[in-house]
Structure 1
Amino acid sequence: MGRHTLHGNPPITVHLRRSTRARRLSLRVSRLDGRVSLTLPHFTPEDEGISFLQSKEGWLRKQLVGVRPIQQVQLGGTVPFRGEQLEIREGKGRGVATTQSAILIAPGRPVGAQLRAFFRTEARSALAAASDRYAAMLGRRYTRLTMRDTRSRWGSCTSDGGLMYSWRLILAPPEVLDYVAAHEVAHLAEMNHGPAFWNTVEQLCPDFAQHRRWLKLHGDTLHSVSFDD
């Protein structure tokens, strides 16, 4: 449907969506990145939804206290890549390139769209390499590898050997990305989270515990980066 802004200090952007299944107005705040969503039943007028939203502004601002602020990618700002904060600069080429301290984008094109596409490509390459390596160590094969922007999990493995990963893992330190690949590949041998599964993870990634801890402590920072232009 679009967006609505609640003016104040600070302003709050609310994403509006229609649902044929919803039976009542629903306001939700993501604890991962602070995204605010208002769901309206198909038959509810938009102005009624806005009135409902305004009546909940006090509650909404309380919910947003403590939520990590959104890091909007923009020229002159920074963005995490492989665990390092790189300055976003305008380059001279037609694509995205990196230096030791900066990420260079093509001029005249949306910043967020360029970086999102670049990170997805880099993530696929890194995760495919890690998955291939760990699968070879186990003597197992996976059937496919897909990239998504998931908010509830960093990866998954289906019963038929399909691997799925969040492309935002490319923003994390490389060893954290490798751990998630080891975790999902281990499911090719153990489709559970029992002792045998964790023994397999440790076999593939001996120091997995510290990388798992990093995701628990800092994973929300990866979701707080916004690539919306």
Structure 2
Amino acid sequence: MLRRRTAPREEACETVLGGRRVRYTLRRSARRTLALQVDARGVKVAVPLHCPAAEVERFIATHTQWLLDKLDALAARPAVVPFKAVDGAEFPLLGRPCRLNLGGSGRAVRWRVAPDGIDELLLPVATVDTAAALERALRRRALAWYPGRVAEYCHRLGVPVPTVRLSSARTRWGSCSRHSGIRLHWRLIHLAPALVDYVVAHEVAHLAEMNHSPRFWSVVESLYPDWRAARRQLREAAATLPVIAAGDETAITEED
């Protein structure tokens, strides 16, 4: 008999950290770990269904400085300005500038190198929703490029290459499952290849260790020795990516 999965529950809570009152959303679900998330919508604490309130408070308290620093950084950050998908607008593609050109004929959407040497995405003149067309083109570019990088790191680790799909998750750049394969966020296609490779190496390492134990990080290091610097750079780069569609902002997370 299949057991019915309990639906997640959320409630508004608050605590006092460093003399500051901090409101947060407590989300209980069928998970095994505790996690903190901070984004423009506020603070969320995700915990297992039957996690005692005292353990939740201890978990938050152990991350006091991290949480207050993230809230301060969020408050100081300028408001996100959505990317305007107009003719001539530039956006990053694999760490290099790329230009949007709305002068294409027919219905074809294509990438090309412009006469001045810059990469361009050529959209048909008749394109109605240029932002949506740009996102679709970036997703296709990502899906065409990611599997080769996953295959490369799987070859280095000596494991079979899993299915690779795209993700739009708000709280993580990638995920790995032995059943469904590896998912990589489509917005990674904006970043320099070396940073994309860090995320790929991280997820491929999970094929050997489905956790974040010292053994897991040892596998990551064998695949990508400079992973610490790449992780820092990835966190910094997240705030600079163009916001093409509502909800594109990447959340800040801390997991336990």
TM score, norm. by length of structure 2: 0.60
Check conservation: 1:92, 1:106, Cα contact below 8 A: yes
- Residue 64 of structure 1 deviates from its aligned partner by 8.6
Aligned to 2:146: 127
Aligned to 1:66: 78
- Residue 87 of structure 1 deviates from its aligned partner by 2.4
Matches of 1:197 and 1:31 in 2, distance apart? 25
Matches of 1:89 and 1:207 in 2, distance apart? 37
SS at match of 1:203: helix
Aligned to 2:222: 203
SS at match of 1:86: strand
Q: 1:139 to 1:90 in 2, by over 3 A?
A: same
- The answer to whether 1:221 aligns with 2:233 is no
Q: 1:134 to 1:161 in 2, by over 3 A?
A: farther
Report the RMSD for the aligned CA atoms in angstroms: 2.9
Aligned to 1:84: 96
- Residue 97 of structure 1 deviates from its aligned partner by 1.3
Aligned to 1:53: none
In structure 1, runs of 5+ residues without a counterpart are: 1-20, 37-61
Amino acid corresponding to residue 86 of structure 1 in structure 2: C
Q: 1:96 aligns with which of 110, 118, 122?
A: 110
Q: 1:205 to 1:149 in 2, by over 3 A?
A: same
Aligned to 2:132: 113
SS at match of 2:240: helix
- Same amino acid, percent of matched pairs: 31
Amino acid corresponding to residue 92 of structure 1 in structure 2: G
Q: 1:139 to 1:126 in 2, by over 3 A?
A: same
Amino acid corresponding to residue 231 of structure 2 in structure 1: R
Amino acid corresponding to residue 106 of structure 1 in structure 2: P
Matches of 1:79 and 1:185 in 2, distance apart? 28
Matches of 2:201 and 2:180 in 1, distance apart? 14
Check conservation: 2:165, 2:184, Cα contact below 8 A: yes
Q: Residue deviations 1:172-197, cap 9 Å, x none?
A: 11111111111100000011112221
Farther off after superposition, 100-109 or 191-200: 100-109
What is the total number of aligned residue pairs between the two structures?
177
Q: 1:189 to 1:23 in 2, by over 3 A?
A: closer
- The answer to whether 1:140 aligns with 2:154 is no
Aligned to 1:42: none
In structure 2, runs of 5+ residues without a counterpart are: 1-8, 13-24, 26-36, 43-73, 247-256
Matches of 2:86 and 2:233 in 1, distance apart? 26
Aligned to 1:193: 212
Aligned to 2:189: 170
Matches of 2:217 and 2:84 in 1, distance apart? 37
Amino acid corresponding to residue 75 of structure 1 in structure 2: D
SS at match of 1:132: helix
- Residue 106 of structure 1 deviates from its aligned partner by 1.9
